[in-house]
């Protein structure tokens, strides 16, 4: 265990942050959150022992104030949509590349010991024969993937040039509670089921992803804060299980108890990776990471959360 117990979480009132901040606060960390609430919501952290600051990572004054007295930073704030990045690459660049640079530079100037930043697996690697690993050659297909790769590059450079202990975690497709604002397939499928509308699949349904529960992601982040990982490291945090979009639709329908809910197919969209799942062998080696929640159980629990917290309201 390191002594880096005072942690700033950017984007901490968002989907992953809502689970992570609960976990860190519950295990004795002093947690401060910086979030502009563009996709997050302060109510996600109601009752959690964390300090919330409303501000943007691109605002140097807000960022500097939020970093005061912190030992470590978990950088989750991001523009996270592949489709939106294709429609507006400049906005994606500003948040993900300029924003990440400013977080790293402010952390360096504040004397922060360690940073852990959210990256992505499939969007960075692009089309490659899975399972992808840290040795897979990055070839992003979308501005979103390119922006995350640029962030990894800056993290590696800041480790080499300034000794900042940077770790980039390449998340698989994250799902779980607090994901109502996440524009991902599972959210859209559950909303379609609830509304009595067809589930829409873009392409023929053979595209695949690696779905990893947010609690497993949060455990990996906590371990990246605590383990002696070399600066500049990038790690895949994944389930190692390939799930096609067609299979995901079936799993969502089964979780909701409507196995015959209609599915509608539409043309594939630009910028999306065709097939992806990842090996987490290096994360196992360096972090002791193992996924603990199966697809079936995790998706069933996520549907229950939507029923109780989103659809029931």
226, two tokens: 């605590």
Task: Give the catalytic positions in this structure.
Answer: 144
Q: Which residue from 180, 195, 200, 169 is spatially nearest to 283, judged by alpha carbons?
A: 169
Tell me, rounded to whole angstroms, the distance of Cα 72 from its chain centroid: 18
Do residues 286 and 229 make contact, with C-beta atoms less than 8 angstroms apart? yes
Fold of 6-175+211-239: Rossmann fold (3.40.50)
Instruction: Identify the three-state secondary structure at position 284.
Output: helix
183 vs 299, more confident: 299
Do residues 280 and 240 make contact, with C-beta atoms less than 8 angstroms apart? yes
Q: How far apart are the first and last CA of the chain?
A: 41
* Mean pLDDT value across residues 1-12: 80
- Provide the whole-model pTM: 0.95
| pLDDT for residue 183 | 84
Do residues 263 and 201 make contact, with C-beta atoms less than 8 angstroms apart? yes
Q: Using pLDDT thresholds of 50, 70 and 90, give the confidence band for residue 230.
A: very high
User: What is the Cα–Cα distance from 232 to 155, expressed in whole angstroms?
Assistant: 6
Q: Using pLDDT thresholds of 50, 70 and 90, give the confidence band for residue 2.
A: very low
User: What is the Cα–Cα distance from 221 to 116, expressed in whole angstroms?
Assistant: 7
User: Tokens 């604002």 label which residue?
Assistant: 181
119, two tokens: 């990256």
Residue 101 to residues 11, 75, 81, 129, Cα–Cα distance (Å): 15, 11, 19, 31
| pLDDT for residue 1 | 36
| pLDDT for residue 4 | 55
Tell me, rounded to whole angstroms, the distance of Cα 103 from its chain centroid: 17
């Amino acid at each position: 265990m390191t002594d880096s117990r005072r942690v700033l979480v950017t984007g901490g009132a968002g989907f992953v942050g809502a689970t992570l901040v609960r976990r860190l606060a519950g295990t004795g960390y002093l947690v401060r959150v910086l979030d502009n609430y563009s996709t997050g919501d302060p109510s996600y952290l109601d009752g959690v022992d964390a300090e919330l600051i409303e501000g943007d990572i691109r605002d140097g004054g807000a960022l500097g104030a939020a970093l005061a007295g912190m030992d470590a930073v978990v950088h989750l704030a991001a523009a996270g949509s592949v489709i939106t990045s294709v429609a507006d690459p400049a906005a994606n660049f500003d948040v993900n590349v300029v924003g990440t640079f400013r977080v790293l530079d402010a952390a360096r100037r504040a004397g922060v010991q360690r940073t852990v930043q959210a990256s992505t697996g499939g969007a960075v690697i692009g089309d490659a024969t899975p399972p992808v690993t840290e040795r897979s050659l990055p070839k992003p297909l979308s501005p979103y993937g390119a922006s995350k790769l640029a962030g990894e590059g800056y993290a590696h450079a800041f480790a080499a040039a300034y000794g900042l202990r940077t770790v980039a975690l390449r998340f698989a497709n994250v799902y779980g509670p607090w994901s109502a604002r996440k524009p991902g397939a599972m959210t859209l499928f559950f909303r379609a089921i609830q509304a009595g509308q067809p589930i829409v699949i873009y392409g023929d349904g053979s595209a695949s992803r690696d779905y990893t529960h947010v609690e497993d992601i949060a455990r990996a982040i906590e371990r990246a804060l605590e383990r002696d990982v070399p600066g500049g490291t990038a790690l895949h945090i994944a389930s190692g299980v390939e799930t096609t979009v067609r299979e995901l639709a079936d799993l969502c329908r089964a979780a909701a108890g409507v196995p015959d809910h209609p599915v509608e197919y539409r043309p594939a969209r630009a910028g999306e990776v065709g097939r992806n799942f990842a090996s987490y062998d290096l994360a196992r080696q360096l972090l002791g990471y193992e996924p603990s929640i199966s697809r079936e159980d995790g998706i069933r629990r996520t549907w229950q959360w939507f029923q109780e917290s989103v659809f029931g309201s």
